[in-house]
Amino acid sequence: MRADGAAMASIPPIDIPSRRQACWLRAIGLAAALAVASSGLAQAQSGTAVRDTVDGTVKIRQQTQQQEDAWAREKDDLVRRYRLAASRIEWLQEQQDARQRRVQAVEARVAELERRLREADRLEGSLQDTLQMILGRLEQSVHGSLPFLPQERAFRLQTLREDLARSDLVPAEKLRRLLEALQVETGYGSTVEVYQDKIEVDGVPVYADVLRLGRVALFWMTPDRKQGGVYDQGRSQWVAAGSGERRSIALAMDMAARVRPVELTDLPVGRIGASQEVAP
């Protein structure tokens, strides 16, 4: 017994926890288990969050890339449209410059035509006055010259006077007709002709053949060659001539009518009037 008691006395006492300690131990163990479970749950949640973050980042990157691609395409389209618009603007500018040059040329042409019209109007007024002046001088020349072909020349002057007064005739046409009249009157000075006319000798009407020697002298004879004479320019009347002079006049008339060959003959020219010039 003693021995057993001594043996028992030598064994150290075992510290048996109390009920409170056991509760603490169980609480600590539960906390540790909870901690481990929380750590695993946190790790699981952390992995899910990482995956979500990565997926979101990838999605954002994809969206960003899509936007960048869209922006790049839009940029290329805008650059193409800008270059096309710039080329179009350059072409339109060239067209505008060309049209502006044409407009300036047309304006210059119009200005030149307007200047010519003003000058033409001025010249037309001046030319009309000049034509009227020349016509007046021509009428004076006709009235002051030998009275040959009176009806024809009077009709020509009357027609020319009416033509110059017409507003529908251009000045060039009026000038042409006036020059024609001047040429006809001038041509009388270099021609010889015989025509029939009614003249007045000593107050008596006489139907006679009239010989015109240019614009120098007029001679007359009746068709039966019994009477004849000359136009006296000094007295501005027809006068009778003697028998010798009548023979010379008849000879000259035959030569003018080409009845006999031309030869020299003496004619009673008489005094020549002062006005024998044709108006220029």
> Do both 240 and 151 map to the same domain?
no
> Do both 50 and 116 map to the same domain?
no
Q: Residue 159's pLDDT is what?
A: 93
147 within a domain of the structure (yes/no): yes
Distance, in Å, from the CA atom of 238 to the CA atom of 223, rounded to the nearest integer, reads 16
130 within a domain of the structure (yes/no): yes
Burial status of residue 174 (CB atoms within 10 A of its CB: 0-12, 13-18, 19 or more): buried
pLDDT in tens, 183-211: 999 888 888 888 888 888 888 898 999 99
Question: Domain range spanning residue 34?
Answer: 26-61
Q: What is the pTM of this model?
A: 0.53
For residues 42-48, give the mean pLDDT: 62
> Do both 113 and 127 map to the same domain?
yes
Q: Residue 176's pLDDT is what?
A: 92
Q: Residue 160's pLDDT is what?
A: 92
The position carrying tokens 């004879």 is 221
146 within a domain of the structure (yes/no): yes
Distance, in Å, from the CA atom of 229 to the CA atom of 227, rounded to the nearest integer, reads 7
Q: Residue 45's pLDDT is what?
A: 60
pLDDT in tens, 158-174: 999 999 888 888 888 99
> Do both 88 and 184 map to the same domain?
yes
Look over the chain and give the mean of its residue pLDDT values, rounded to a whole number. Answer: 79
> Do both 129 and 222 map to the same domain?
no
How far, CA to CA in Å, does 186 sit from each of 93, 127, 131, 176? 66, 22, 17, 15
- The alpha carbon of 91 is separated from its chain's Cα centroid by a whole number of angstroms, namely 25
Per the model's pLDDT, the better-predicted residue between 28 and 13 turns out to be: 28
Domain total of the chain? 3
Q: Residue 41's pLDDT is what?
A: 54
Pairing of strands 217-221, 228-232: antiparallel
Distance, in Å, from the CA atom of 27 to the CA atom of 180, rounded to the nearest integer, reads 151
Contact yes or no for 220/228 (Cβ under 8 A): yes
Highest-confidence segment of 24-38, 95-109, 242-256? 95-109
In this predicted structure, the answer to whether residue 10 has a pLDDT above a threshold of 50 is no
> Do both 112 and 49 map to the same domain?
no
What torsion do the CA atoms of 264, 266, 268, 270 make, to the nearest 10 degrees?
A: 80
175 within a domain of the structure (yes/no): yes
> Do both 153 and 117 map to the same domain?
yes
166 within a domain of the structure (yes/no): yes
Per the model's pLDDT, the better-predicted residue between 73 and 49 turns out to be: 73
Q: Residue 24's pLDDT is what?
A: 60
122 within a domain of the structure (yes/no): yes
Q: Residue 1's pLDDT is what?
A: 41
Domain boundary among 136, 164, 190: 190
pLDDT in tens, 250-259: 888 888 877 7
> Do both 40 and 90 map to the same domain?
no
In this predicted structure, the answer to whether residue 180 has a pLDDT above a threshold of 90 is yes
262 within a domain of the structure (yes/no): yes
Distance, in Å, from the CA atom of 235 to the CA atom of 224, rounded to the nearest integer, reads 26
pLDDT in tens, 79-137: 998 998 998 899 999 999 999 999 999 999 999 988 888 887 777 778 888 888 999 99
152 within a domain of the structure (yes/no): yes
Q: What proportion of the chain, given as a percentage, has pLDDT over 90?
A: 19
> Do both 200 and 246 map to the same domain?
yes
Per the model's pLDDT, the better-predicted residue between 156 and 48 turns out to be: 156
> Do both 146 and 234 map to the same domain?
no
